[in-house]
């Protein structure tokens, strides 16, 4: 038997209309949207299906919206009898992975991301931040440039997305300086459309309050193996997972390491469960060309039908 990993996207995967097809087709999806709206007192369905994009992209709205769609896509796959062995999620997506692994209930998942978004938004208003994707340098090269500038101000690595795609985060002027140095090394720096310096010291002010909320949430022993952002490694213990989530807010996302951990575990099917194709794109950059893997994204009816035809 092969092994399947469910991977959940985060911020940057959103689009107006996300989740609408499954909402029309599946009662279980309508129930998830109703639960999410009741939990956070927001019109999530309206926001997801009609936008506008400007409202949808605000982190305080986006985090519960994307997570609701992720959980809806997961519910559809479960309804169709799809089995899976491992779970991981990129940054915000890690909360959906917690639910997929049955560590945290769906209601608690939505509650956590709603408060996470609110606290991150609050800190972003206090501390102006920026994020750039550095394309063309490995992690050691980017880390060396970051350490050159760190003595002057706040800048750090936010995401190790693929071998040669590293996201940096911090105060705008210092992020810009690292980007200029990267450009001198032949790399390309791409400013990201974000409202804050996520995974940086600039949102450290949210950490204590968020961790207090986390401590009140019941974490169960996982039913599936999780691969954590903060370590890029497998976690099978509820306390270990909770500790990882307490560190996640201001720590780098080790996505490249996480995918390589899944490869080492001989995963043969990778399914991006949620809107967009961000993780699918990263998988194609990370997985070696001679590694026998099937990669899918399931966020609408056509993609679901293709996946089911080939796998169930």
Return the active site residues.
91, 199
CA–CA separation, 272 and 254 (whole Å): 17
With contact defined as beta carbons under 8 Å apart, do 272 and 9 qualify?
Answer: yes
What burial class does residue 209 get, using C-beta atoms within 10 Å of its C-beta: 0-12 exposed, 13-18 middle, 19+ buried?
middle
The dihedral through the CA atoms of 278, 261, 5, 252 has a sign that is: negative
With contact defined as beta carbons under 8 Å apart, do 14 and 279 qualify?
Answer: no
- As a dihedral over the C-alpha atoms of residue 283, residue 91, residue 157, residue 212, rounded to 10 degrees, the angle is -160
- Element at 281 (helix H, strand E): helix 278-286
With contact defined as beta carbons under 8 Å apart, do 68 and 39 qualify?
Answer: no
The dihedral through the CA atoms of 69, 72, 76, 77 has a sign that is: positive
- Cα–Cα distance list, 18 to 8, 56, 68, 252, 312 (Å): 14, 11, 10, 27, 24
CA–CA separation, 187 and 259 (whole Å): 23
């Amino acid at each position: 038997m092969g092994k399947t990993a469910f991977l959940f996207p985060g911020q940057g995967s959103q689009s107006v209309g996300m989740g609408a097809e499954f909402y029309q087709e599946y009662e279980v999806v309508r129930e998830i949207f109703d639960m999410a709206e009741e939990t956070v007192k927001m019109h999530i369905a309206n926001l997801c299906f009609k936008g506008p994009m400007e409202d949808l992209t605000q982190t305080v709205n986006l985090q519960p919206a994307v997570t609701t769609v992720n959980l809806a896509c997961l519910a559809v796959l479960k309804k169709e009898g799809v089995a899976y062995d491992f779970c991981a999620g990129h940054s915000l997506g890690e909360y959906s992975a917690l639910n997929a692994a049955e560590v945290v209930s769906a209601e608690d998942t939505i509650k956590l991301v709603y408060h996470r978004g609110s606290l991150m938004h609050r800190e972003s208003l206090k501390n102006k931040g920026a994020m750039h994707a550095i394309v063309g340098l490995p992690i050691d090269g980017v880390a060396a440039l970051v350490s050159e500038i760190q003595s002057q101000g706040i800048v750090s690595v936010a995401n190790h997305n693929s071998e040669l795609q590293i996201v940096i985060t911090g105060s705008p002027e210092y992020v810009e300086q690292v980007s200029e140095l990267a450009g001198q090394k032949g790399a390309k720096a791409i400013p990201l459309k974000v409202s804050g310096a996520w995974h940086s010291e600039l949102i450290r002010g949210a950490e204590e309050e968020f961790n207090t909320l986390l401590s009140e949430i019941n974490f169960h022993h996982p039913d599936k193996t999780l691969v954590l952002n903060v370590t890029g490694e497998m976690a099978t213990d509820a306390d270990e997972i909770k500790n990882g989530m307490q560190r996640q807010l201001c720590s780098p996302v080790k996505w490249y390491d996480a995918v390589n951990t899944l490869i080492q575990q001989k995963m043969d099917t990778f399914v991006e469960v949620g809107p967009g194709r961000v993780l699918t794109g990263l998988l194609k950059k990370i997985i070696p060309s001679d590694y026998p893997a099937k990669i899918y994204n399931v966020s609408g009816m056509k993609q679901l039908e293709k996946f089911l035809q080939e796998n169930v």
